[in-house]
Amino acid sequence: MQLREDIRNIAIIAHVDHGKTTLVDQMLKYSGTFRENEHVHERAMDSGDIERERGITILAKNTAIKYKDTAINILDTPGHADFGGEVERIMKMVDGVALVVDAYEGTMPQTRFVLKKALEQKLTPMVVLNKIDRPNARPTEVVDEVLDLFIELGADDEQLEFPVVYASALNGTSGYKANEQEETMDPVFQTILEHIPAPIDNREEPLQFQITLLDYNDYVGRIGIGRVVRGTMKVGQQVVILKKDGTQKSFRITKLFGFIGLKRIEIQEAVSGDVVAVAGLEDINVGETVCPQDHPESLPWLRIDEPTLQMTFLVNNSPFAGKEGKFVTARKIEERLLKQLETDVSLRVDPTDSPDAWIVSGRGELHLSILIENMRREGFELQLSKPQVIIKEIDGVKCEPVERVQVDVPEEYTGAIMESLGSRKGEMLDMANQGNGQVRLEFKVPSRGLLGYATEFMSQTRGYGILNHTFEGYEPVIKGQVGGRREGVLVALENGKTSTYGIMQLEDRGVIFVTPGTEVYAGMIVGEHNRDNDLTVNITKEKHLTNVRSATKDQTITIRKSRNMSLEEALQYLNEDEYCEVTPESIRLRKKILNKNEREKAAKRNK
């Protein structure tokens, strides 16, 4: 069996924020992939605006690095659970993985999730212990934690012999020992060359190429990215694509792209082991196999993670509709959602009875909120309903998604956390003292119990707690109310501008969401009531002027800071009878029924 020693295919996997993308940056830099005078952004692989702002990887990306005489194809994967489907598919394109672990935090829920996927695919692992320069780094304990995790996940003897490289991606240093760091990435590269297997060279056999990722380009249309599993692929070649339903479609390869650094370069041919992008077919999809016409043979189908959360997207019909956005019509919104389906395989868009509403299903709150955030930045206006978990029927039993939750908190808050997750039907799995006053708790919680929990968690732990959760599977539905918001809201009585006087009158009633001078409409939510019922308030009320001068007139009025919500917080905050109105400039919460009398009648009917 011949191997292609001139190439290595490796995926970088880790928990969110353990430094995957920063590590790839340093590898690009040290391999001499960029010219001396070339300007490169930090976290060069995170090309999207939202990725840069939030410091997370959303889409898996590939790059190729030339080190000595070897081309190393590196796939940077997302660390967040909502994009787990991407991670799983990437595993099909590589022969090994570099597991990046934070030298202080150790193994986290996502570390477990991504490693489990890699071990299932029988990939060869190596471990990079990152952030070794942190003052409280604990390399020895973390290596033991990683080994325990490998054993727990059923790694075989070969996989347990993983090499460890110690690094600080931020400083650009690495070494084979924690206390011996040099300004180079050579130890990482050397370990890849020595331990990650080279792909098999079977270029003489019939072609097999599987689409793993999708991209879209206005000039060439849909682009399928994947690995040539065997054979040779050339521009101009007539091939067939094997669809999921068993049908075949023939097409001609119009363009082939290889990767070097962050650039795509046109190439004329690719052979087994190469990671390439191919253009030429409009309805190419993830998991499909490209073969020669005379030898159609499909590769095993790729499993795509099913959506676990859905929400309704509606045309904006609030009194402020059309004031701030460019695209407000049902046609434009539908076009944009269908365009998203071109590249996002974990998304579903289903029509409803109304031409102005669609049910959009995704992998989780982050998955959907990033789509919404992108849409508002492009100039769209829309309304959103409360997110709902998707209930599945398995063997005649109704089942709901369940998550594994890991909480790191100072000791004094453990009681409050156990109580609050217990009330959300959480089941405690483990509790470990981390030393220095920190406790790590593990729970299994229904996904619907976690909707809207992040805000409550932050206030319970005064911002000192860290909450991580990852999708565990489906379990029978737990009866009764799980989670949800307990407080009522303050709802504006009429249209107008909020006044300082109006806000001051309401401060003892709850938390205000708006600042003085904000335009509001009747039925818009302007604050949170400190009781469990909704209250309609006059927040636009002005102070009556009299001709009597008051003794305290010259004292300065101060009002409390209003609560400003991000898009995710607003979506989590919603109740069944509310919408979130999203425009390029504003995020507003409102009642579905704006008129006070009609709203009260509807509430009575529901009771």
341 φ, ψ (degrees, to nearest 5)? -65, -20
The per-residue pLDDT for 33 is 53
Per the model's pLDDT, the better-predicted residue between 538 and 53 turns out to be 538
Instruction: Round to whole Å and give the CA distance between 117 and 275.
Output: 20
Q: Is 295 assigned to a binding site?
A: no
Instruction: Determine the average pLDDT of the residues in 225-234.
Output: 86
3-state secondary structure 144-156: HHHHHHHHHCCCC
Residue 4: which region, alpha, beta or left (left: phi > 0; alpha: psi -120 to 50)? beta
For all residues of the chain together, what is the average pLDDT? 82
Per-residue pLDDT reduced to its tens digit, 433-469: 877 788 888 899 888 888 777 777 877 888 788 887 7
DSSP structure class, residue 93 = G
- Is 22 part of any known ligand binding site? yes
518 appears as a binding residue in the annotation: no
Number of helices and strands (H, E) in the chain?
15, 36
Burial of 368 (0-12, 13-18, 19+ CB in 10 A): buried
Q: At what angle do helices 139-152 and 109-120 cross, to 10 degrees?
A: 50
How many residues in total does the chain contain? 607
Task: Considering only residues 565 and 85, tell me which one the structure prediction assigns the higher pLDDT.
Answer: 565
β 238-242/248-252 pair status: antiparallel
Residues 21-74: pLDDT tens digits?
Answer: 788 878 878 776 544 444 444 444 444 555 445 444 444 457 788 888 888 888
> Using an 8 Å Cβ cutoff, are 104 and 134 in contact?
yes
323 among the known binding-site residues? no
Mean per-residue pLDDT for 482-501?
Answer: 84
524, 534 Cβ separation under 8 angstroms: no
Q: Could you tell me the maximum CA-CA distance found in the chain, to the nearest angstrom?
A: 99
- pLDDT (tens digit per residue) in 573-604: 888 889 999 999 999 999 999 998 998 898 88
pLDDT bracket for residue 526 (50, 70, 90): very high
Per-residue pLDDT, 383: 94
The verdict on whether residue 386 carries a ligand-binding annotation is: no
Q: Is the pLDDT at 174 greater than 60, yes or no?
A: yes
Q: What residues have CB less than 8 Å from 103, skipping those under 6 apart?
A: 129, 130, 131, 132, 134, 137, 138, 139, 142, 166, 178
Question: 125-160 pLDDT, tens per residue?
Answer: 999 998 888 888 888 888 998 999 888 888 888 888
The predicted structure's pLDDT at residue 60: 46
d(CA 354, CA 410): 49
Give the mean model confidence (pLDDT) for residues 207-228.
80
Q: What pLDDT sits at residue 379?
A: 92
Is residue 211 a known part of a binding site? no
Pick the closest to residue 169 from 137, 136, 130 (CA basis).
130
Can you say whether residue 170 is alpha, beta or left, with left for phi > 0 and alpha for psi between -120 and 50 degrees?
alpha
Give the integer Cα–Cα distance in Å for 392 and 378: 34
Give the C-alpha separation, 212 to 233, whole Å.
16
The reply, when asked if residue 18 is annotated as ligand binding, is yes
Token pair listed for 520: 């509001």
pLDDT at 312: 94
For the chain, what percent of residues have pLDDT higher than 70?
89
Q: Is 21 one of the annotated binding-site residues?
A: yes
Residue 283, amino acid: D
Q: What is the pLDDT of residue 37?
A: 42
> How far is 154 from 119, CA to CA, in rounded Å?
8
* Sheet of 263-267, strands arranged across: 248-252, 238-242, 289-292, 208-217, 221-230, 275-279, 255-260, 263-267
Average pLDDT over residues 333-362: 88
Q: Are 24 and 14 in contact (CB under 8 A)?
A: no
Query: What proportion of the chain, given as a percentage, has pLDDT over 90?
Result: 17
Q: pLDDT digit string (tens) for 294-335?
A: 888 888 877 776 788 899 999 999 999 999 989 999 999 999
String of b and e for 66-76 (b: at least 16 CB within 10 Å)?
A: ebeebbbbbbb
The predicted structure's pLDDT at residue 41: 46
DSSP string, 241-257: EE-TTS-EEEEE--EEE
In the chain, the domains with their CATH numbers are 7-195 (3.40.50.300), 208-292 (2.40.30.10), 392-476 (3.30.70.240), 489-577+587-606 (2.40.50.250)
With b for 16 or more beta-carbon neighbours within 10 A and e for fewer, the 476-487 pattern comes to ebbeeebbebee
- Phi/psi class of residue 122: alpha, beta or left (left: φ > 0; alpha: ψ in -120 to 50)? left
How much is the pLDDT for 583? 93
The more confident residue out of 248 and 378 is 378
